[in-house]
Structure 1
């Protein structure tokens, strides 16, 4: 039996929203989200604000991959400040918190508050994030942070759309392979890198080699 061609369902912004500011964490997570938005003819702009990403070389590589994909589809891209010192300041005392814990809540709050501030100042009435498509993230935690950030601004919504549903997670991987996106092997922050490498060493694996692994390489 032949596979039927995939047909996307049209999606709409909540509460008759007109313009979306999409916080993007990286190209692999945002690829499927962006293609779904384009297919539904939703007016959106990418907002890249991720001062948690460490080291700077990793941050630059993830950002450039995101810019490349946005430019391919003629999507506006806002490159926000890399105020990493402020991120580390907020993370003080949480250095040993586990993934998905209070440090991650702080991190989402910081990024979404900045996203909402930019949205309010520039005519966007909806914000959302590509973070929620990753199976490694707690979607409820992300949505709570997003809704809280949007609630500080009048007539603004945080879109809690589940990007994983109806094959979104699988298409995320397919798009990453098709585009040969850089494959990041840890969430992004210094503590995530530390803990991931610790786990890898304890399980007989090599430490992460930054900047070397790309989706699709294993198939060549």
Structure 2
């Protein structure tokens, strides 16, 4: 099942047997999903991204992730679109830059929810697709993940570097193969604002939600 390329076999740390994968979107999680599937790792997807704005964009990203999960028969946990709590936590950080304290808050919030679900449902390992993107600060993401599992003595955050050994390149190839929806900004309203300001300054059109998809080579 699936178009797998040659990969090194990977395994969960410390003999663990299943993992809860926090997924931010299908393009970022596609390579991770296929890599774990190819290595026979038992995993479940946890979709909790209340930062994504507007709701139309949130639905598109979630639906693409659901579609790909169904293709491989992977369990998909659809968590709340808890945008009001996200906006409350982001209050006062509206002008913070990307990769700054607002992003730390956002990662913390999403990983705290992931870790709680993992604790309540018997997962001892969590990880995330966020770190595969070159636009993200992997150290920042890992620190948030490690912090989220601290309240749970028998839980670990898997800091595997999904970018290495061609992971970032395969992420793009899978996105093209599957014709995934191609989001053009990180996700939150402030990222949308700043990205549009940059585009306008450089003579480009504003982002049009739902208009951009990866194009298959076939």
Instruction: Pick the TM interval, shorter chain.
Output: over 0.9
1:23 and 2:22 are equivalent in the alignment: yes
Match of 2:105, SS? Answer: helix
SS of corresponding position for 2:95:
coil
Structure 2 counterpart of 1:168: 167
Write out aligned runs for 1:141-220 (5 A): 141-216=140-215
Match in the other structure for 1:90? 89
Residue 64 (structure 2) aligns with: 65
Measure the CA separation in 1 of the matches of 2:170 and 2:56. 27
> Matches of 1:97 and 1:16 in 2, distance apart?
40
Count of equivalent residues: 215
Q: Structure 1: which 4+ aligned runs deviate by more than 4 Å?
A: none
Residue 21 of structure 1, CA deviation = 0.2
Query: Per the alignment, do residues 66 and 6 of structure 1 end up closer, same or farther by CA in structure 2, a change over 3 Å counting?
Result: closer
Gaps of 5+ in 1: none
- Which TM-score applies when normalising by structure 2? 0.97
Q: How does 1:82-161 map to 2 (within 5 A)?
A: 82-161=81-160
Shift of 1:6: 4.0
Matched residue of 1:53: which SS?
coil
After TM superposition, the score normalised by the length of structure 1 is 0.96
1:9 matched residue in structure 2:
8
CA–CA separation in structure 2 for the residues paired with 1:153 and 1:199: 42
Q: What is the CA distance between 1:15 and its match in structure 2?
A: 1.4
> 1:16-67: per-residue Cα shift (whole Å, max 9, x none)?
1111000000000000000000011000000000000000000001000000
SS in 2 for 1:210: coil
Report the CA distance between 1:100 and its aligned residue: 0.2
SS in 2 for 1:127: strand
- The superposition leaves residues 147-203 of structure 1 with CA deviations (integer Å, 9 ceiling, x where unpaired) of 000111121000000000010000000000000000000000000000000000001
Separation in structure 1 between the aligned mates of residue 117 and residue 68 of structure 2, nearest angstrom: 22
**How far is the alpha carbon of 1:73 from its aligned partner?**
0.2
